Chain A
Amino acid sequence: MLINLIVNDQPKVFLCKPGDFLLDTLRENNYLSVRRGCDTTNCGVCTVLFDGKPVPSCSLLTVKAEGHHITTVEGIQEEADKMGKLFGAEGADQCGFCNPSIALTVYALKKELINPTGLDVKEYLVGNLCRCTGYIAQERAIKSYLGDKS
Chain B
Amino acid sequence: MINLLVENFLKPKTLEEAYDMLISNKKNMVIAGGAWIKLSIKNVLGLISLDDLNLNKIEVKDDSIEIGSMVTLREVELSNHLNELYDGVLSSAVHKIMGINIRNLATIGGSVMGRFAFSDIYPPLLVMDTKLVFYKQGEISLSDFLANPKMEKDILLKIVIKKEEGRGFFKKVATTPLDFAIINIAVSKTLAGFKICLGSTPYIGALAKDAMIFINSKKVINEEVLDKTVELVLGELKISKNVRASKTYKEELASVYVKRGIRKVISDVN
Whether A12 is near chain B, meaning CB under 8 Å from some CB there, is: no
Whether B47 is near chain A, meaning CB under 8 Å from some CB there, is: yes
The count of residues in chain A whose C-beta lies closer than 8 Å to any C-beta of chain B is 31
The count of residues in chain B whose C-beta lies closer than 8 Å to any C-beta of chain A is 29
Whether B6 is near chain A, meaning CB under 8 Å from some CB there, is: yes
Query: Chain B residues with Cβ under 8 A from A47's Cβ?
Result: 101
Query: Chain A residues with Cβ under 8 A from B7's Cβ?
Result: 18
Whether A64 is near chain B, meaning CB under 8 Å from some CB there, is: yes
A125 to B99, CA, bound (A): 7
- B17-41 vs A, CB cutoff 8 Å, 1 = contact: the mask equals 0000000000000010011001100
Whether A56 is near chain B, meaning CB under 8 Å from some CB there, is: yes
Query: Chain A residues with Cβ under 8 A from B8's Cβ?
Result: 18
Q: Once the chains bind, are B98 and A61 in contact (CB under 8 Å)?
A: no
Q: Once the chains bind, are A126 and B104 in contact (CB under 8 Å)?
A: no
* Contact with A41, one of B9, B38, B47, B74 (Cβ below 8 angstroms): B38
A residues 64-91 in Cβ contact with B at 8 Å:
64
* Contact with A17, one of B2, B6, B177 (Cβ below 8 angstroms): B6
A1 to B51, CA, bound (A): 18
Whether A55 is near chain B, meaning CB under 8 Å from some CB there, is: yes
A61 to B6, CA, bound (A): 11
Q: Once the chains bind, are B105 and A58 in contact (CB under 8 Å)?
A: no
Q: Once the chains bind, are B100 and A54 in contact (CB under 8 Å)?
A: yes
Whether B5 is near chain A, meaning CB under 8 Å from some CB there, is: yes
Pick the most buried of B6, B38, B74: most chain A CB atoms within 10 A of its CB.
B38
A55-B105, A59-B105, A61-B34 known; A44 and B2 CB under 8 Å? no
A residues 7-23 in Cβ contact with B at 8 Å:
17-19, 21
Q: Once the chains bind, are B35 and A41 in contact (CB under 8 Å)?
A: yes
Query: Chain B residues with Cβ under 8 A from A6's Cβ?
Result: none
Whether B217 is near chain A, meaning CB under 8 Å from some CB there, is: no
A residues 124-141 in Cβ contact with B at 8 Å:
124-128
Query: Chain B residues with Cβ under 8 A from A63's Cβ?
Result: 9, 49
User: Which B residues are closer than 8 A to A by beta carbons?
Assistant: 1-9, 31, 34-35, 38-39, 44, 47, 49, 51, 74, 95, 98-102, 104-105, 177-178
Subset of 24 A-B contacts with CB under 8 Å: A18-B8, A19-B44, A19-B47, A21-B2, A21-B4, A21-B38, A36-B1, A41-B35, A41-B38, A44-B101, A53-B104, A54-B100, A54-B101, A54-B104, A58-B2, A59-B38, A59-B105, A61-B47, A105-B100, A126-B99, A126-B177, A126-B178, A127-B178, A128-B99
